[in-house]
Amino acid sequence: MKHKALVSLATVWLAACSQSQRIAPIATTDPGTLHAMYQEIYAQVQDRTCSDPSACTSLPLGSKPCGGPWTFLVYSNEGVDEAELHARATQLAAYELQYDLEHHVISTCDMAPPANPACVDGVCIDLNRSE
């Protein structure tokens, strides 16, 4: 009986010890960084001047919790390092996906409509939106 009491006491002590030593997961993402990543992309494509309709294009931007991008960004590829822009957009989507998981973000599951880029009066616009 004494042996059972000691085993029970040891079990309770070990359980209490292991519970107090649990480490809560630390978020590796934060809203400030997420916002800054979006701002860097917007700054990179701020000049939407176009001299030719083929200069206007779009890329998916962000990552919704249900999947897919939040929006499609219309920009002019004249004077833009597209490889860098696409790399930033890919990094943003991966970061936002991790952010959504860590911070339990939810959203609607509707899909963002694709953009319809066009060069109008020397500026790239999305014909699907009123700007």
Q: Where are the beta strands (DSSP E) in 1-131?
A: 56-61, 71-76, 117-120, 123-126
pLDDT digits (tens, 9 = 90+) for 44-62: 999 999 999 999 999 999 9
pLDDT digits (tens, 9 = 90+) for 19-41: 555 665 677 999 999 999 999 99
Is the CB of residue 59 less than 8 Å from the CB of residue 70? Answer: no
pLDDT digits (tens, 9 = 90+) for 60-108: 999 999 999 999 999 999 989 999 999 999 999 999 999 999 999 999 8
Q: Classify 95 as helix, strand or coil.
A: helix
pTM: 0.76
